A and B are shown apart, each in its own frame.
Chain A
Amino acid sequence: MDEKLLLDFAISVGEIMLESGAETQRVEDTMERILSTSTYNLMPETFVTPTGLFAGITGPLSGSVTKVKRIQKRSINLEKVSAANELSRDFVSGKIGLREAFDRLNEISLLPDYKLHIQLIAYTLIPFAFTLLFNGTIRDSIWAASTGFILTFVTDFLTRNKTAGFLKSFLCGLSITILVVIYYYLNMTDNYEIIIKGAIMPLVPGFAITNAARDIMYGDYISGGAMIIDAALTAVFVAAGVATGLMFLHDMFGGVFV
């Protein structure tokens, strides 16, 4: 088997997994397993950071080869992680050959995200459920659901216009707060704090906290530290958006809020 082709395959699998939000340990482990399937001992070494991955082999035919891949964008798609994981398992167990594996990898890279109308349902259900869980009334949670409905289009618009991550968090927090306070001012809801708490739940950095914990646990301090910074900054920017909304409306409507 061609060692360089194997290295290309390992790097491509690692790239898809890292882009889709797999944890560092899983990506390194998967690449190393793929490289170990060669008939020679290639002495594979892999090194993965949040923004790029490296893999190196030393083979009798190819000599020392190292390949670097820079990751430009990350978007969470756990279906791709799951599918790439299964592919690597099938490949390592010898169920499929390299050619077929490349074909399947191509299919995996084209897996779509959920459609907008399904995301709309998710964005609407999350604030609805959380407002009730935080002791809101039914009236509150229905209006919270409407903020989630609008948040879908705000997020979609900002994503399509390639807004930088933290500005997106800020603007989403801001738009939610303005909506909620307007509802409260028009006497449509019973509380406004509970609704804001429920409505910002789709924006909290749960993904970053979880992956930071797992990265640090496996000793990948670079990714773990980066994830912690990401989580903290996202939280700060969402909160800053909420604060800006509250202050703005405080000036508009008088001292009810803040």
Chain B
Amino acid sequence: MNLPYFMQFFLAWISSFGFAILFNCPRKELFACGVCGGFAWVIYTFIYLSTINEPFGVFVGAVAAAALSRIFSYRHKAPSTVFLIPGVIPLVPGSQMYSTMKAVLSINIYDTFLEAIKALQFAGLIALAIILIFSLPYKYFEVGKQRD
């Protein structure tokens, strides 16, 4: 998070690109999958660092990933799942999962609950952001030219 934003974008792009390969996304969509993940992470970091409100950052990052995946879905004529799943992956609370387990092992009850609730909160916020964006009508996301 201390890296410059373009570097963070690039790294998040790499990670989402990797996940797109693991989920067997079509070869021609891999680049766009990475772009969803890159924007999700950069927006999350930007909001987190400027408002010191991590859950809000996760929510806005997931909103960005979901909106981008719907735009790409329109432009590339592919199901939005293809872009959405690799796109939100950088925000999934993997590090909170580890911290919870660490706190359990060192019998630190306070940290256990704190980290577990954080992990649940982030997962819930990602779900909420996806539900919010996918409830909007299709026409809002018809941006740009459609690939033929």
Could you tell me if B79 and A82 are in contact, using CB atoms closer than 8 angstroms? yes
Could you tell me if A231 and B106 are in contact, using CB atoms closer than 8 angstroms? no
Question: A22-B79, A239-B101, A243-B105 are known contacts. Are A204 and B92 too (CB-CB below 8 A)?
Answer: yes
Question: With a CB–CB cut-off of 8 A, which chain A residues contact B126?
Answer: 209-210, 213
* Chain B binder among A40-48, A55-63, A98-106, A195-203: A195-203
Could you tell me if B81 and A200 are in contact, using CB atoms closer than 8 angstroms? no
Partner of A119, one of B21, B94, B119: B21
Could you tell me if A213 and B127 are in contact, using CB atoms closer than 8 angstroms? yes
Q: Once the chains are docked, how many angstroms separate the CA of A207 from the CA of B25?
A: 13
- Give the bracket for the number of chain A residues in contact with chain B: 35 or more
**Which applies to chain B's interface (DSSP): helix, strand, loop or mixed?**
helix
Q: Once the chains are docked, how many angstroms separate the CA of A128 from the CA of B134?
A: 32
**Which applies to chain A's interface (DSSP): helix, strand, loop or mixed?**
helix
Interface string of A79-104 (1 = CB under 8 A from B): 11111011000000000000000000
Could you tell me if A129 and B18 are in contact, using CB atoms closer than 8 angstroms? yes
Question: Which B residues are within 8 Å of any A CB, using their own CB?
Answer: 1-3, 8, 11-12, 14-15, 17-27, 29, 41, 77-79, 81-82, 84-85, 88-90, 92-95, 97-98, 100-102, 104-106, 119, 123, 126-128, 130-131, 134-135
Nearest 3 A/B pairs, CB to CB: A213-B127, A122-B18, A122-B21
Question: Which A residues are within 8 Å of any B CB, using their own CB?
Answer: 21-23, 26, 76-83, 85-86, 113-114, 118-119, 121-123, 125-126, 128-130, 132-135, 193, 196-197, 200-207, 209-214, 216-217, 231, 235, 238-240, 242-243, 246-247, 258
